[in-house]
Amino acid sequence: MDGIDTLKARYLAAVAGAADEAGLEEVRVAALGKKGEISALMAGLGKMDPEARKAAGASLNALKDEIDAALRARKVALADAALDERLKTEWLDVTLPGRPRPRGTVHPVSQVMEELTAIFPDMGFSVAEGPQVESDWYNFDALNIPPEHPARQEHDTFFMHRAPGDNRPPHVLRTHTSPVQIRAMMERGAPIRVIAPGRVYRMDMDQTHTPMFHQVEGLAIDRDISMANLKWCLEEFCRAFFEVDKVELRFRASHFPFTEPSAEVDIRYSNTGGQLKIGEGDKWMEILGSGMVHPKVLQAAGVDPTQWQGFAFGMGIDRIAMLKYGIPDLRAFFEADLRWLRHYGFSALDVPDLAGGLSA
Ligand code: PHE
């Protein structure tokens, strides 16, 4: 048997030389395992006489403790080293800029609706609502569009399906927000000032038309409201909405069954290299229909036309959103790659010439 000192030197060297936990375990088993060298020596103590046993036992125990302590210390050192190694590779530079993540934004149409409902209330208008599935009475009759009136065809109406034998009045997807005029007047009477933003539907699809689009209806009824008030109100709105001092609106005589006189309104803009600008240039975009509310419409809504009068308008929200945010194609709102939303901040995109395509 090697002397205790030799054993000690050998095992401590083995412990120091172990490269990893597995190596350490091998040393432990060889020395202190059940069949280990030191364990075997301990087992041999029984055959010794008491004196020798005492001396050998003490030094064997001391050796066992020493090897055990060395094993533990080496284990901790190896773990520390492994952690250091890992930390070196997993080092994180917290000063690096974060990875950009694609972010959503409010849809321009929603944004514009919010803007509308902030601007008009400053002029005394409150917000009214009506259903998108509307009876043909509200959508047409009450607005002085009787059955067989050509305007019904012009509206390219979506009719709701009716089962045979269903005698409820026909319903349509509202073709404009004007039925909300009727609902608002029936509910609140006169005087009244409301706007009604919302979705409307027509069977139409090209670069500047989609089957679903958005309008905002305006209605102002009082004792002596005139076209002059309408003009001021619209100009005021455009200045606030487009955030420009100068806007130029063009009133073109037109016809709607529910207004008399009627006018369509265009706004002047320029398009320089895709950059749209309001209030200058030689292009006009139609943005709304308007007029003085027809006496028959007041009557249908229970408002006395000998006492009350006023204006109404229906503005294309998608149109003014296109103008403000430089969106070239209405269909982009619904089905195209919406990455242009990034431009929402708000340099206009490379916009093809809008002239010609954009009258209603
Ligand atoms: N309802 C009309 C349209 O959709 C617009 C309009 C509203 C015209 C109110 C006059 C008055 O085309």
287-317 residue pLDDT tens: 999 999 999 999 999 999 999 999 999 999 9
When pLDDT is cut at 50, 70 and 90, the band that residue 351 belongs to is very low
When pLDDT is cut at 50, 70 and 90, the band that residue 352 belongs to is very low
| Cβ atoms < 10 Å from Cβ of 106 | 12
| Residue 141: CA count within 13 A, CB half-sphere | 11
Pick from 128, 228, 227, 223: which is nearest to 178 by CA? 128
Q: Is the pLDDT of residue 177 over 90?
A: yes
By most ligand atoms within 8 Å of CB, the mutation choice from 134, 140, 176, 177 for ligand 1 is 176
| Residue 252: CA count within 13 A, CB half-sphere | 12
For residue 135, CA distances in Å to 131, 151, 253 come to 9, 16, 29
Q: Is the pLDDT of residue 56 over 70?
A: yes
| Distance, CA of 326 to CA of 329 (rounded, Å) | 9
**Which residue owns the Cα nearest ligand 1 atom 12?**
289
260 is in an annotated binding site: yes
By most ligand atoms within 8 Å of CB, the mutation choice from 195, 258, 260 for ligand 1 is 258
Average pLDDT over residues 70-86: 91
Atom of ligand 1 nearest to the CA of 360: 12
Average pLDDT over residues 322-330: 70
57-61, 131-135, 178-182, 233-237, range with the lowest pLDDT: 57-61
Round the average pLDDT of the chain to a whole number and report it.
Answer: 86
Percent of the chain topping pLDDT 90 = 53
8 A C-beta contact, residue 149 and residue 254: no
Q: Is the pLDDT of residue 271 over 50?
A: yes
Show the DSSP H helices in 193-284 as ranges: 227-242
Q: How far is the CA of 105 from the centre of ligand 1 (A)?
A: 30
Let me know the angle formed at the C-alpha of 266 by 288 and 184, rounded to the nearest 5 degrees.
Answer: 20
| Distance, CA of 164 to CA of 327 (rounded, Å) | 44
Average pLDDT over residues 35-63: 88
Q: Is the pLDDT of residue 360 over 70?
A: no
Q: Is the pLDDT of residue 105 over 80?
A: no
pTM of the model: 0.67
At 256, is the secondary structure helix, strand, or coil? strand
Q: How far is the CA of 313 from the centre of ligand 1 (A)?
A: 6
Average pLDDT over residues 132-138: 96
| Distance, CA of 60 to CA of 32 (rounded, Å) | 11
Pocket of ligand 1 (CB under 6 A): 176, 178, 256, 259, 289-291, 312-314
When pLDDT is cut at 50, 70 and 90, the band that residue 341 belongs to is very low
